[in-house]
Amino acid sequence: MMLMLLKTFKSARKDYINSVAHFLLVLVGSIWFQTFHVKSEDDSGKVFHSIEAVQGGVAKLPCDITPAVIGDKMHIVIWYKEGIKSKPVPIYTFDSRDKQLKQGKHWSNEHILGGRAYFRYQDEPAKLTLDSVKESDGGIYQCRVDFRQAPTKNIKVNLTIIVPPEKLSILDEKGVHIPHYILGPYNEGASVNITCVATGGRPLPKVTWWQENALLDESYETLSARRVRNILHLEQLKRRDLHRVFTCQASNNQLVSPISSSVTLDMNLRPLWVKFVGENRPLSAESTYELSCEVVGSRPPPAITWWKGSIQMTNTRETTSPDSNTTVGILTFTPTIDDGGKYLSCRGQQQLIPGSGIEDGWKLDIHHVPLVSLELGSNLNGSTIKEGVDVYFECNIKSNPWVYKVSWRHNGKILYNNAAIGTIVSNQSLVLQNVTRLRSGLYTCVGSNQEGDGESNPVQLDVKFAPVCRPGQPKIYGVARQEIAEIRCELEANPTDVQFTWKFNNTDNSILTVDLPQNLIVNDRARSIASYQPMTERDYGTLLCSGTNEIGDQREPCIFYINPAGKPDALSNCTIINQTVDSLHIECIEGFDGGLNQEFIMELYDTLTRKLVNNVTSKIPVFTVSGLESGLGFQIGLYAINKKGKSSTAYLQTFTLKSAEKHTALTPVLLHITPILGIIIGVVTALILVAIVIVVIKRLRNSDMQDDACKDTQLSVASRDTESNIDKNSMLVLNRDLNISSGSIEDKNPDIVPLNNGDSEYQEEERAFERLNNSTLRSYNRLQSVADDRKPSLYDNYNASEVTYAELSLVKQQMSPVIYSNQQSIPMSVIRTQEPTVYAQIDVAKCVPSYLSSSGLSYPCPTPGISQQHYSEYPLRHSGDEHQPEPYTTAETPLINNRENNVGQPLLEGVCNRLPIKSQPRATATATRF
């Protein structure tokens, strides 16, 4: 530890000694230099170097440190600066005694140099550099170099500090600073003077004008000790001078770049040209166009105006291109017919430059729909035209382009040239010969060209004529005794001031007529109302109405028939058009109204409860009822009513559809077929095919033996005529009983739809069937059927013990059938009438009771037989899912139930396959419902 302290002390003492020695050396050298300097100045007074440096830059003062003797070495370099009044003082030293140059010590006067100086001995020649020189750094510097052997060198350097210009100012003609370095704008063709002023700098700077690299003006003048000016003159500015950049430079040395300031010349330019876009083409009147006019070369964008003759147009707009060189003016123009031949012009002008306007224009060619006017012939008076005279019209047309067709219209309908009916069309004239009242109306002429059809003003042709009956009037009036009826008689006449005459006739002799008193008649121009009251039967007949005006008398009178009033006829062809889960829509055909206004009523009853559910009254026989409960059966009564009473009631049986049930979707399970299962399926399939082949062969063998049994199925016309008398006699009693029964019900309650008693009605029907079956046997021939065309049906397996009755609809009644069966009943929409209805022939060949067999042969019948099956109770409706709508059935397509949907075919063709192989006489029965 002590050793380290001792070494540190020795090192510090050595440094101290060196510093003292260096100071003493500098002091001695300074004294010596002063003595030498004075002597040198006295001897020579030379300055060896002159250096310039820009304020703020770097000054490099040279000093030759190369020894004159080879092998000699520099010891020390001392720099002095000479003052104005004081003696030179050392400001910098470089000491390399007893050491290499790179190990030499640098010292500087901080008060004068402030750490900005450094001696670069390695340069050639060596230099003392001064950074960030100041104006005060200027002066004479002396470099003293001492060598080991050679004499000392003394070098003087004169340092001059150059101060550059401080700023430049560019002024316009008014002496105002140019903002944003944009000069102008100046109009094209104008002259401009630009002034540039430089301030500061030593020595004073040189001020010049440049355009890019070209010198424009280098003449400048000094305004004061610190200001220099140069004025640039620009004559007759051209378009090419736009956006030119003019630069002013000020410089007082070659060491640094000159200061500069640039301005850009902005100019106002006049338009180069103005022209319409597109070509001049005809314009359609009253159509809207957008016409474009292009103005090029104007800066800033020009003012574009549109002129039609001397009238300035409005509704314009302009668009300018991105480079502002092209401006397009757009005129929204709707020409009129009067614009034809006028001059439409577009004018573009730079408003900042007087007299810079240019224009372009078109002469307008306006196409338009023909202008047409119509008038009667000049020698005709439109208020005195009567039937039988000739009339002509003149059509005046103004059109561009000219019309290619002229047509004529009467009340909107086109007239064609037809001399046979007195219509003569001749270009722009129309002649009507021997006019009648049918020629009255509005006449127009139409001119057609490429622009469209121009229709003229309508001209009313008023043809005077004697009264005639107005068509479409009611002719038949139903009037009760002592009832006052108002009979309207309307006439067509011109003029309409008509004198009416009413007459009555109740015979076929038109001469025997009686005039009605005037107090029963009310006249209103061409309309007359007669109040007529028949008191006895002789007061019914015909009323004759005729009129007279200033043209003449009515030729044929209007005839009205006065008939006794009565009840309206019943509705017919009532059909359920649409039925849903909660609504029904029914339409009927109305009958005669009995001579009075009638209304139509629909009453809806619940089939089970027999209660009135809804009723609808309508002016027309169309009924819609909604809000019903789904899945219910209904009985509908439909009738017409007037003041005299109501018609007979038509009935319909119907129901509302059931609501859709919700079903849960099941994911299908795929069956995995194993080899054993596949073999089993194949064996079963083969056995089924063999069985089918055997059955087919057996059927084919039996078909030949059944051909003879099917030949007696043809129904002859003669047998039908013979049996008609028997049918009438057998049904007479039944019709009388049923008519009395139904008539008594309606007479007791004529305004309410009767509620049918299901049990009594069914018993009456069964008694009718019993009387029919006990009557004399009536046999029918079967329809001929071809065995080759017969196809197997489900009737082959039909149970002989079951008897199905099918109701057949009559064509004029348009009614739907009802199936009555021992297993199910499906009510459909049926219109009940008093007339007997033939249902269908029932095949009893296989099960014929002995009292129906004409040949004495009988077949075994199951007990209790047909009659016991037939007496099952007739239900009004089904419950559950059995209540489904059935398709409409006619006599050609017998009704079948859902379980035996193929029974209809055997009923038509004859049930051949049910006959025994041995041909036997066949017996049939007819089922009839009243």
d(Cα 503, Cα 546) in Å, to the nearest integer?
Answer: 9
* DSSP designation for 464: B
pLDDT range class, residue 74, cuts 50, 70, 90: confident
What pLDDT does residue 51 have? Answer: 87
pLDDT of residue 764: 60
Chain segment 138-155, per-residue pLDDT in tens? 888 999 999 988 888 888
Look at 1-5, 9-13, 51-55 and tell me which has the smallest mean pLDDT.
1-5
Q: How confident is the model at residue 763 (pLDDT cuts 50, 70, 90)?
A: low
pLDDT over 60 at 790, yes or no: no
Q: Kindly list the distances between the CA atom of residue 347 and the CA atoms of 273, 306, 307, 703, in Å, as whole numbers in the listed order.
A: 10, 6, 8, 107
Homologous superfamily assigned to 465-564: Immunoglobulins (2.60.40.10)
Mean pLDDT calculated for residue range 241-251: 92
CA distances from 125 to 63, 122, 278, 606 (A): 6, 8, 81, 136
* Residue 253 pLDDT: 85
Residue 842: the pLDDT is 45
Assigned CATH class of 27-162: mainly beta
Instruction: Indicate the SS3 state at residue 200.
Output: coil
Can you tell me the distance from the alpha carbon of 534 to that of 541, in angstroms, rounded to the nearest whole number?
Answer: 10
In this predicted structure, what is the pLDDT of residue 66? 87
- 537-588 pLDDT per residue, tens: 888 899 999 999 998 999 999 999 988 888 889 999 999 999 999 999 999 9
- Take residue 110 and report the two structure tokens written for it: 């901080």
Q: Domain map of the chain by residue range? A: 27-162, 167-268, 273-364, 367-461, 465-564, 572-655, 708-929
Specify the pairing of strand 153-162 against strand 49-54: parallel
Mean pLDDT lowest among 376-385, 394-403, 814-823: 814-823
Least confident stretch, 250-259, 370-379, 695-704: 695-704
Per-state percent for the chain, helix, strand, coil, to nearest 5: 20, 40, 45
| pLDDT of res. 595 | 77
Using a pLDDT cut of 70, give the percent of the chain over it. Answer: 68
DSSP code per residue over 381-429: -TTS-BTT--EEEEEEEEEESPPSEEEEEETTEEE--BGGGTEEEETTE
Cβ–Cβ < 8 Å for 515, 509: no
Query: 3-class DSSP state for residue 767?
Result: helix
CA atoms within 13 A on the CB side of 827: 23
Q: Model confidence at 275, in pLDDT bands (50, 70, 90)?
A: very high
Who has greater pLDDT, 182 or 882?
182
Q: If you ran DSSP here, which 8-state letter would residue 762 be given?
A: H
* pLDDT at residue 378, as a whole number: 82
Lowest mean pLDDT among 509-523, 612-626, 831-845: 831-845
* Weakest mean pLDDT among 401-405, 592-596, 749-753, 867-871: 867-871
Amino acid at residue number 138: G
- Give the pLDDT confidence of 870-908 residue by residue, as tens digits: 333 333 333 333 333 333 333 333 333 333 333 333 333
**Euclidean distance between CA atoms 348 and 681, whole angstroms:** 99
How many other C-beta atoms are found inside a 10 Å radius of the C-beta of residue 747? 8
Asked whether the predicted pLDDT for residue 783 surpasses 50, the reply is no
Q: How far apart are CA 78 and CA 25, in angstroms?
A: 11
Strand extents, DSSP E, 256-390: 259-268, 273-276, 283-284, 289-296, 303-308, 311-312, 316-320, 326-333, 343-349, 358-363, 366-376
Instruction: Please enumerate in sequence order all residues whose Cβ is within 8 A of that of 333, keeping only pairs 6 or more positions apart, or say none.
Output: 283, 288, 289, 290, 291, 313, 315, 344
When pLDDT is cut at 50, 70 and 90, the band that residue 647 belongs to is very high
Alpha carbon distance 737, 769 (integer Å): 14
- At 794 the pLDDT is 38
Give the pLDDT band (50/70/90) at residue 337. Answer: very high
Strand spans (E) along 650-702: 650-655
Task: Return phi, psi of residue 772, to 5°.
Answer: -65, -40
Q: What mean pLDDT is predicted for residues 209-224?
A: 89
CA dist 523 and 222 (Å) reads: 122
Please list, in sequence order, all residues whose beta carbon lies within 8 angstroms of the beta carbon of residue 445, skipping any fewer than 6 positions away. 372, 374, 393, 395, 406, 407, 408, 409, 428, 430, 455, 456
Q: Cα(626)–Cα(230) distance, rounded to whole angstroms?
A: 106
Q: How much is the average pLDDT of 454-478?
A: 92
What is the three-class DSSP state of 139? strand
Residue type present at position 244 = R
365-386 average pLDDT score: 90
- Rounded to whole angstroms, the Cα distance separating 53 from 137 reads 10
Which tokens in the block code for residue 285?
Answer: 């009147």
Global model pTM greater than 0.85: no
Is it true that 27-162 and 167-268 share their CATH fold? Answer: yes
Distance of CA 879 to the CA centre of its chain: 51
Render pLDDT for 703-736 as a digit per residue (tens, 0 to 9): 655 554 444 444 333 333 434 443 444 333 334 4
Residues 318-337 have a mean pLDDT of 93
CATH of domain 167-268: 2.60.40.10
Nearest alpha-carbon partner for 515 in 500, 497, 536, 498: 500
What CATH number should be reported for the domain whose range is 273-364? 2.60.40.10
CA atoms of 881 and 879, how far apart (whole Å): 7
Angle at 593 between CA 592 and CA 597, to 5 degrees: 160
Contact of 78 with 33, CB cutoff 8 Å: yes
d(CA 466, CA 487): 22
- Interatomic CA distance for residues 467 and 387, integer angstroms: 12
The contacts of residue 476 (CB under 8 Å, 6+ apart) are: 560, 561, 563, 595
Q: Which CATH architecture has domain 572-655?
A: Sandwich (2.60)
Give CA angle at 897 (837, 649), nearest 5°: 40
Name every residue whose Cβ is closer than 8 Å to that of residue 459 and which is 6 or more positions away in sequence.
374, 375, 376, 382, 393, 442, 443, 444
The CA-based angle 428-429-433, given to 5 degrees, is 160
CATH architecture for residues 367-461? Sandwich (2.60)
Please count the CA atoms within 13 angstroms of the CA of 678 that sit on its side-chain side: 4
Average pLDDT, the chain: 75
Of 58-72, 513-527, 643-657, 869-883, the one with minimum mean pLDDT is: 869-883
Which pLDDT score is estimated for 679?
87
